[in-house]
């Protein structure tokens, strides 16, 4: 009997708006991001969002995130596997501390991208495509499956 009630609730929830869900469901988070420690952020190809990992566990999925003291990381072995097998895997991402805001104006900024078939590192989208290994801040967003990564130097 309890299982039938559970299935009815799930069926009802499927057709609720986001606002109705917020008002009727309590979501318990067992882990939260410790902002005093680094996170590792990468684009999740299946969910089309940024996955935020800390201590080897994905703690959050988000469409927008800002980091400070950002390091742009590419795993050499993972990239070589992509080139060899022509299948994607998580081997590149950005490490940093989650922040609520970034400076309005920095000394310089650049849009950054990574493509394992074209580049060994993250690169600034300019001519030539300069490698990027570090930024004071980074803003990351994704809309409709396309990503935007901006590095900011103060």
| String of DSSP letters for 26-55 | PPPPS----TTS-EEEEEETTTTEEEEEET
**Partners of 141 in the beta sheet?**
64, 148
Tens of pLDDT, residues 8-41? 665 665 666 666 666 665 555 557 999 999 999 9
Tens of pLDDT, residues 72-121? 999 999 999 999 998 889 999 999 999 999 888 778 999 999 999 999 99
pTM over 0.75: yes
Q: Is the pLDDT of residue 54 over 60?
A: yes
Distance set, CA 129 to CA 19, 55, 108, 141 (Å): 44, 32, 16, 21
pLDDT at position 114: 95
* Helix H or strand E segment including 70: strand 64-74
């Amino acid at each position: 009997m309890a299982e039938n009630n559970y299935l009815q609730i799930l069926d009802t929830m499927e057709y609720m708006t986001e606002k109705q869900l917020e008002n009727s469901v309590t979501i318990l988070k067992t882990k939260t991001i410790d902002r005093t420690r680094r996170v590792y952020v990468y684009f999740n190809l299946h969910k089309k969002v940024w996955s935020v990992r800390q201590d080897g566990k994905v703690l959050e999925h988000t469409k927008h995130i800002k980091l400070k003291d950002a390091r742009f990381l590419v795993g050499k072995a993972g990239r070589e596997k992509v080139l060899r097998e022509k299948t994607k895997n998580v081997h590149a991402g950005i490490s940093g501390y989650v922040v609520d805001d970034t400076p309005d104006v920095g000394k310089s900024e650049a849009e950054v991208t990574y493509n394992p078939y074209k580049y060994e590192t993250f690169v600034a989208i300019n001519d030539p495509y300069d490698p990027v290994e570090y930024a004071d801040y980074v803003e990351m967003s994704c809309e409709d499956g396309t990503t935007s990564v901006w590095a900011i130097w103060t």
